[in-house]
Amino acid sequence: MAFLKKRIKAIAGALLAAVAWALAAHAEAPVLEYQVKASYLYNFARFITWPEDVVARQGNFNLCIVGAERFGSALDALAGERVNGQTIALHRLEQAGQARANRCHLLFIASGRDGTATGGPERGLLTIGETPGFLERGGIINLVEVNGRIRFEIRQPAARQAGLVVSSQLLGLAIQR
Amino acid sequence: MSPLVQGFRNLPLRWKTIVSMLGVTTISLMLVGAGQLVRERQGFERQMEQRLTLLADVIGLNSTAALAFNDAAAATEVLGALASDEHIMAGALYDTRDLLFARYVRSDIEAPLLDTAPNVGRPTFGGGMAAITRTVKYRGQPVGKVHLLADTTEWSNTLWDYAAVAAVLFVVVLTIGLFVSIWLQRLITGPIIDLAQLARRIGQERDFSRRAVKRSDDEMGVLVDGFNDMLDEIGKGRAEIEHGRDELRKLNEQLERRVVERTAQLEAANKELEAFSYSVSHDLRAPLRSIDGFSRVLLDEHSATLNADGRDSLERVRRAAQRMGMLIDDLLKLARVTRVEPNREEVDLSMLGREIAVALQNQDPDRRAQIVVAPGLRAHADARLLRIALENLLGNAWKFTGQRKEARIELGMTTNSAPVYFVRDNGAGFDMAYANKLFAPFQRLHSVEEFPGTGIGLATVQRIISKHGGRIWAESAVDKGTAFFFTLP
């Protein structure tokens, strides 16, 4: 346990360091922006509760990325981490349509790649985008840049339709629309 | 011993009791007060600890997402809720790397907040503040730390309130204690003090008829009973002594009266006797002189008409008359000595002795006797009386050594504690069995034929010595000589 805690702490530390750096110089280094986003993905997984039947059904926590190349190595740190008692399994997808086949819990769709969005919330699937209007097209969380900081908006009804319970604290941090 | 203890020891019993009771009360109050204070303090700390822990945990719980998503503004907002607690001076959130992430400081103060997180643990107290640092966890995983600073100066106020209440309580309890102890001391020491006063009064007034009043059946009662019993005994004893003294005084008075009476009787009898013997002696001399005178006339003028028998008879009459004259002279001398009071002066006894020795030798020039007079004998006495005494003593010695070939007479002095004079001879001596007759008048231990004399000489000597307040006694044995000792104090 102690070993695990230490590792988690190290990772969280590394992620936050990356965030700090990103805050300082995200414009010059796009990779840093995705390091922050990677840590956000991990934290969304922690602050959102999946339906119990979905959790019980699958062994791993399937984290699926469309456009994973933008993250570079930032995603590698996430693979093998545990979230809500499950081990993260990373799936690099070509298009969003592959989510069901990969039993994805979380699906991140990079900007310019959401043309293939499903159009409606799917049970047990948290969809995250980074494109303006992503929520209107059926997404649950959308990452936006505000004053040099990466923030997020949440469409609570969509999350509810997907059977996901979003932490009130997370809702509190989200951009109010 | 410290002067405090000494002072307490000499304090009257009344104050001793009061001081003891108040002392015990004070100590009890102080101990209870101190105990209560410690308890209050502990209670305060425990309460503060619980409050801070709870608050820190609530703040931490509400900041997990803000910490996870690096949202300092949201975290600051959460910390802002601390403003509702006036005791919280400051609060801070630190990220997983222990760096300051968000802070809250009460508007009216400047709180010392560190840039890095302090060690996690139980609250610490000091400097009027309490501080706590707790780890913020989200679902078992640490996301940062929360640090709170609380104002504990409230405790000083509590302390002062407490001290004020304690002081008031102290005064009230001590006042009540004073009254109670005064009342109690009356109950306990009152009888003792009464008894002590009674004892003092009895000691001063010597009035043993007083009695202590018994008020209780405790040890004091026993003491009072014992005291009264003792007074009874003393009273009885004193009455007996008083009675005995009266008897003794009466007896003494009687005795003295009797002595005075007897002395007066004796003196009167003595005077009568002296007057009688004096007048008798005196009156006897006239006829005696006639007898002697006419006998001589007969012998001188009519011896021719008398035969030898007649002459012899007349001679005998004359000798008897002369002897009677001597007797009368001695009796008169004795009477005179008895009447005269000694007129004391410094007397040279040695010179007196030598003069008498010369006179004795002159009276009897044929006799050979060695008279040794020790030089430098002095006495404070009546010279005339002392001369009579020495004439008698030395005369006796001369007389009783008459049959000694080597007669030796000695006048000297031995010094014991007081000077003792003596006249010693190696004459005929006497049997000590008759020593008691020695100084009585007309008592003789030898026949007139053996040694002539009237038997009044030693009686006279004894009168003279006793007139001087002295004592005379003799040591002798038949044919071993005699020694007379006398003192002249």
The pLDDT tens digits for A115-139 are 655 567 788 899 999 988 888 888 8
Q: Which residues of B433-445 are buried (b: 16+ CB within 10 A; e: fewer)?
A: eeeeebbebeebb
Strand order in the sheet with A86-93: A82-83, A86-93, A61-66, A106-109, A126-129, A141-146, A149-154
> Are B318 and B241 members of one domain?
yes
Domain that holds residue A152: 2-173
Mutate to test the interface with A, among B61, B62, B70 (most CBs of A within 10 A): B70
Residue A24 pLDDT > 70: no
Domain membership of residue B364 as a residue range? 343-487
Q: What is the radius of gyration, based on Cα positions, of chain A? A: 15
**Chain B residue numbers touching A173 (CB-CB < 8 A):** 65-66, 69, 71, 74
CATH number at residue A115: 3.40.50
Q: Give the domain CATH number at B48.
A: 3.30.450.20
Q: Are residues B72 and B216 both part of a single domain?
A: no
In this complex, which of B70, B141, B142 lies closest to A16 when CB atoms are compared?
B70
**Nearest by CB to B96, which of A13, A43, A47?**
A13
pLDDT at position A141 over 50 = yes
B284 and B322 together in one domain: yes
* B146 & B215 share domain: no
Same structural domain for residues B18 and B149?
Answer: yes
Distance from CA of B146 to the nearest CA of A (A): 16
B317 shares a domain with B404: no
Q: How confident is the model at residue A8 (pLDDT cuts 50, 70, 90)?
A: low
Flag whether B470 is in a domain.
Answer: yes
| Closest CB from B69, B97, B142 relative to A43 | B69
B8 shares contact with chain A (CB less than 8 Å): no
Residue B189 lies in a domain: no
- Shared domain check, B129 and B14: yes
Give the total number of structural domains in chain A: 1
**What is the distance between the alpha carbons of residues B202 and B208, in angstroms, rounded to a whole number?**
6
B141 to chain A, minimum CA–CA distance in Å? 7
With beta carbons less than 8 A apart as the criterion, state whether B477 and B429 touch: yes
Question: Of B134, B154, B176, which residue sits at a domain end?
Answer: B176
Quick one: pLDDT at residue A28?
A: 39
Q: Do B262 and B360 have their domain in common?
A: no
**Of B278, B306, B339, which closes a domain?**
B339
C-beta neighbour count of B383 within 10 angstroms: 17
Q: Distance (Å, rounded) from C-alpha B165 to C-alpha B81? A: 36
Q: Measured between beta carbons, which residues in chain B are less than 8 angstroms from residue A5?
A: 141-142
How high is the pLDDT of residue B284? 80
B298 shares a domain with B370: no
Domain annotation covers residue B236: yes
Which one of B284, B311, B339 terminates a domain? B339
> How far apart are alpha carbons B64 and B103 in whole angstroms?
15
The mean-pLDDT minimum among A16-20, A34-38, B165-169 falls in: A16-20
Domain membership flag for residue B200: no
pLDDT at A119: 63
Instruction: List per-block mean pLDDT (blocks of 10 residues) for chain B, which spans 489 residues.
Output: 79 82 87 88 88 92 89 90 88 90 86 79 84 89 90 81 87 88 81 85 85 84 88 88 93 94 88 78 83 88 86 88 84 78 88 91 86 90 90 90 87 87 90 84 75 82 89 90 91
Residues whose CB is less than 8 angstroms from the CB of residue B417 and which lie 6 or more positions away in sequence, other chains included: none
| Residue A164 or B208, more confident | A164
Q: What is the pLDDT of residue A75?
A: 85
CA distance B81 to chain A (A): 15
Chain-chain contact of A16 with B97 (C-beta, under 8 angstroms): yes
Q: Hey, what long-range contacts does A20-27 have (CB within 8 A, 24 or more apart)?
A: A20/B70, A22/A150, A23/A148, A23/A149, A23/B70, A26/A148, A26/A150, A27/A148
Q: Under an 8 A CB cutoff, do B64 and A16 touch?
A: no
